Amino acid sequence: MDENQKDNDILDSLFVIPREVPKTILRSLLELVYDVKVTGSQFIPETGGALFVSNHTDYLDIPVQGAYAERKIVYLGKYELFHPQEEIMKYVNHKNSPFHYPPLSFTKPMIEYTLKSLGGIIKANLIHWGSMPIIRNAAGETTTMDKKAAMEYYEKLEEYMVGLMRGGEILSIYPEGTRSETGEVGSFKAMAAKMAIRAGVPIIPSGISGATNMSKPQAFLSGKAFKAKIRYNIGKPILPSEFPQGPEKKAAKELTEILEKRVAALVQNPESD
């Protein structure tokens, strides 16, 4: 890391807002609208890496999970989310941009500096609060990937996530791969189990109910969202010593079946472990 980058990182860190601030605001907003109850928080380990898994019913799942966990939960986000200044700079630097000509050309250096500084502050805060940028262009510049490129991309992505957990982070994944429109727990994909096996970290199963469609405008217009009962239950971790043994593919499949049953039970009976 060069000296300029080091100085920029130090400057960005000066503007980092403590995680408790957005967390407290988010919890207050959630409780202002919904009736939220969370159980099992004691099962989140105080230190060390882990994998958080849950069913996925609505955009609300992430703020509920993140706002009510004592430890920081890491979510992967698009690269562009952490570098919002780049899209603006594309316009500023475009060959047809008015910023190539006076008088706007005189303001260009200051605009670039300001945007870069703001982008660094946004990135620093997002990472501090619990987000990590996903790999950019891991499969190349093309918008469509062939099978080989897609496989290489997901292999790099898996290595990245495994590295985060080995480094002591708690990573959140929704093994269904998409949101359920009905609230029913769908089939789990094996990637989450495979990564936990590779990282050698506990898996924390959890289940959410009552949030389905509750972030949609219709829920607010109809009044259904207000004081809707959202229940989020965190279950006892599955330790690496409890993982199925054998070849990785077979063990991951068996562990995925166990996870799916644990999460489904937490959704159906949110007051239980």
Residues in contact with 171: Cβ distance below 8 Å, sequence separation at least 6, in sequence order: 49, 50, 51, 52, 73, 74, 76, 161, 164, 165
pLDDT digits (tens, 9 = 90+) for 231-272: 999 999 999 999 999 999 999 999 999 999 999 999 986 554
202-235 burial code (b ≥16 CB/10 A, e <16) = bbbbbbbbbbbbbbeeebeeeeebeebebbbbbb
> Which tokens sit at 219?
């829920």
CB atoms within 10 A of CB 150: 13
Write out pLDDT tens, residues 61-89: 888 988 898 888 888 766 665 666 777 77
CB 41 within 8 A of CB 70: yes
The tokens for 125 are 């805060």
Cα(104)–Cα(198) distance, rounded to whole angstroms? 53
pLDDT in tens, 168-184: 999 998 898 878 878 78
What tens digit of pLDDT does each residue of 204-228 get?
Answer: 999 999 999 999 989 999 999 999 9
Strand pairing partners for 75? 131
Mean pLDDT of the chain: 82
What pTM value is reported for the model? 0.74
d(CA 174, CA 75): 10
The domain segmentation of the chain, as residue ranges, is: 1-33+79-133, 36-75+145-273
pLDDT top residue among 267 and 91 = 267
**Peptide linkage before 102 cis (omega within 30 of 0):** no
pLDDT at 44 (0 to 100): 94
